[in-house]
Chain A
Amino acid sequence: MSGGTALNPKTAPPFPIAATAMVGNTQLRKNVRHATDVIQAKRARVVGEMPDWQALRDAGSAVREHTIRNLPFYLEQFERNCTAAGGHVHWARDAAEARAIVVRLAQEAIARGRTAPSIAGRPAGEPQGTHPGAGEAADGVALQGEVIKIKSMTTEEIQLNRALESVGIHPYETDLAELIIQLGQDQPSHIVVPALHKNRQQIREIFLREMKLEHLGESPQDLADAARRFLREKFLRVETAISGANFLIAETGGVCVVESEGNGRMCLTLPKTLITLAGIDKVVPRFQDLEVLLQTLPRSATGERMNPYNSVWTGVGKGYAAGDGPEHFHVVLIDNGRTEVLADAEARQTLHCIRCGACQNACPVYRETGGHAYGSVYAGPIGAILTPQLLGMHYAQSLPYASSLCGACYEVCPVKINIPEVLVHLRGRVVEENTGGLKTITNPEAMAMKAAGAIFRSEGRFRAAQRLGRMGETPLERRDGQGQKWVSWLPGMLGGWTNVRDLRAMPQQTFREWWEERERKGAPAGEAG
């Protein structure tokens, strides 16, 4: 059921080609723009409430940097404490190994469910172990079992669902957006709101068809009710769950999951076995550090002061807490290219990411193209720096160029990752790779990068370039009805941009010029700084 062509950067078309197709999809662009507008407005409002927002960003950035610098210490500490609390920690170097571990753990859990007629502490007489094996997969192969899943980009990254299905285990996505994606045989296009490219009519059609409903209203409420009914039965029945993690707490061995719908809590507390997959970058030093991250993540991600539900649990619980949640708990720590990112000192800050998606919503390129053009589950600015690094630069070479370097992503990032800086650095690596590591300038791209580098390094040159640009584009400008100036044709390589969209003419005054003039005149009192 979760078929479709998985987003695989190794086989995806280069960004410019994929993006051209997306830019032609008016409905998709409209849906993406609406969703990102709404989240951005909400985010701006709740971030504006926080007088200490910049201090929180600084603290978040410092905590992440400190963690990554001490990763061996914190990973071992997490493993020790999680194990002491009755959890089992596994390590996976790559996607294949992680898939193998999770599939084996799921198979073991399902087998346990079949052989155990009743479990101590749970009343007998409850139907036990009768469900696996019920139902048939589309190709007629009897299902050997089922698992429920919480939305997790890491499981998407390793394409876990297909691996589970190949051994006859059916994974039910329980996050509403992921359910829409799964039933629609689609792919996520955003790390926080994966189905934002679908509107309600499209979702209704998918639900009618896949849930085999006769009637279904069209309001978001009707659709959510249908999902509630469809999934409730699975929550009560399926005894194995798979989750991701937002944070692994080294100090306690605890795991934190942040969510809204309650599907996460269902998966974390009702099944007998819970398997959590997490990147080695997900560790945070102490419980107290959540005071920073729980303030910045929800506000950045969904524009809420706090997510409706955050869950923290440690192993299988001791003493009074035993029996609160699963009897078997596993954490699979996965590298899958993260140590490659670590090895590049200039791009290492990519690992600070807490996957809030704010940079996606703020990115003009993402907002025009939607997520699928990035060919990876990580779309937008974070995807543009993360994907090529996780997979090796020769895949996804075009991604570091899928940005206008406008800096909006850096501005909103709650842990202050300087994405533009990393993008420029990665572009340098792409050029280096394409020129065989030779520093000779052989292609126009390299030349342009070199020129851009020279310009950005000197303030004087940067200003001169802005003036030149303004003069150069003057003959190409035309005015629209509102008197705004637009450029609809650019020469040479730059034409790739204007083929599909108009470019706003450069303002007659740059921000710097405006600022300097304002300083000269004296800023009006009370103006927000």
Chain B
Amino acid sequence: MTESSAMSSREAILSRVRGIVGEARDADTVGLEWAALPRAYNAASAADRDAVLLRLIDRLHDYDAQVYRVSPEEIAGTVREIVSLLGLTEVLVPAGLAQGWLPDGVAFVKDEGFSPRELDRFTAVLTGSTLAIAETGTLVLQNLPGQGRRAATLVPDVHLCVVREQDVVATVPEAMRRLQATAELPTTFISGPSATADIEMTRIKGVHGPRFLHVLLVR
């Protein structure tokens, strides 16, 4: 395939579309029309903070995630407990993770752009998060300091994720508004551990992603 025939396919498709729906209109006109689209759904929730947090916990449990409610000072201790329960000595962390979250006695290995095979060496990874959505039990991670590359939270079998209560929103629309400013970053919405229902509609945890999700919800 040559460059010119590729060009002509582009032109062929676009001119056909234009021939049917008309020339592309200017950005302002399209923008005004978009802004006027009906959006009568609930953008925010009237529920109080406690109800929102309890809903998040309920949804996370529904997906078989473990939830720990902790104060900022208790993060490192809780991490130590989970890690020792799993019998691990080593945990993968992204660059920029808060130092105070790391307990003594556990080796934290910073992700330096490890290859897939090297990532496979790690059983657990510890990260922060951008926000969480109560309504759907969803954690959102982006490529930011403390959250790291998408691959790092994917290959290890256990994901320990720290969520600050102030970053919990009630609804999906609230989450999307908060994410708008960083919409171009690689973003992953995580709702419970990896799961499938492809075999007789039986829900099975952990097909390819992490099989265990531990959420530390910080006051």
Contacts and interface: CB of A to CB of B under 8 A. Distances in A.
Interface of A: 31, 34-35, 38-39, 51-52, 55-56, 58-59, 62-63, 66, 68-76, 85, 90-93, 97, 100-101, 104, 121-123, 126-127, 174-177, 180, 193, 195-196, 199-200, 203, 220-221, 223-224, 227-228, 231-232, 235-237, 249, 251-254, 260-263, 265-266, 268-270, 280, 285-288, 290-292, 294-295, 302, 304-314, 317-318, 320-321, 323-325, 333, 335, 339, 342-343
A126 B40 CA distance: 53
Given A52-B41, A174-B208, A308-B190, A314 B184 contact: yes
B113 A288 contact: no
17 contacts: A35-B201, A58-B38, A59-B38, A62-B37, A66-B37, A71-B21, A75-B14, A123-B118, A220-B202, A235-B116, A262-B194, A268-B150, A305-B191, A309-B190, A314-B185, A317-B186, A342-B20
B23 to A, nearest CB: 7
Contacts of A59: 37-41
Interface stretch (B70-78, B80-88, B101-109, B170-178): B170-178
Given A288-B176, A320-B144, 17 more contacts: A72-B21, A104-B1, A121-B113, A126-B118, A176-B199, A224-B199, A232-B208, A260-B195, A265-B208, A265-B209, A270-B155, A295-B136, A306-B138, A311-B188, A312-B188, A317-B143, A325-B149
B54 interface: no
Nearest to B151: A269
A311 B150 contact: yes
Contact of B59 (A85, A193, A268, A305): A305
Contacts of A320: 143-145
Interface residues of B, number: 82
A228 B208 contact: yes
Q: Is the interface of B mostly helix, strand, loop or mixed?
A: loop
Contacts of B63: 308
Kindly list the 8 A-B residue pairs having the minimum CB-CB distance in the complex, ordered from nearest: A262-B209, A306-B136, A262-B208, A72-B24, A262-B194, A310-B189, A55-B40, A261-B207
Contact of B199 (A220, A286, A295): A220
Nearest to B174: A291
Contact of A286 (B34, B59, B194, B201): B34
Given A66-B34, A305-B137, A339-B17, A177 B198 contact: yes
B187 A312 contact: yes
A31 B23 CA distance: 48
Interface in B117-174: 117-118, 120, 133, 135-138, 143-145, 149-151, 154-155, 172-173
A285 B34 contact: yes
Contacts of A231: 208
B77 to A, nearest CB: 29
Contacts of B172: 291, 294-295, 306
A227 to B, nearest CB: 7
A309 B58 CA distance: 18
A320 B113 CA distance: 12
Nearest to A305: B136
A122 B176 contact: no
Interface string B2-29: 0000100110111011101111110100
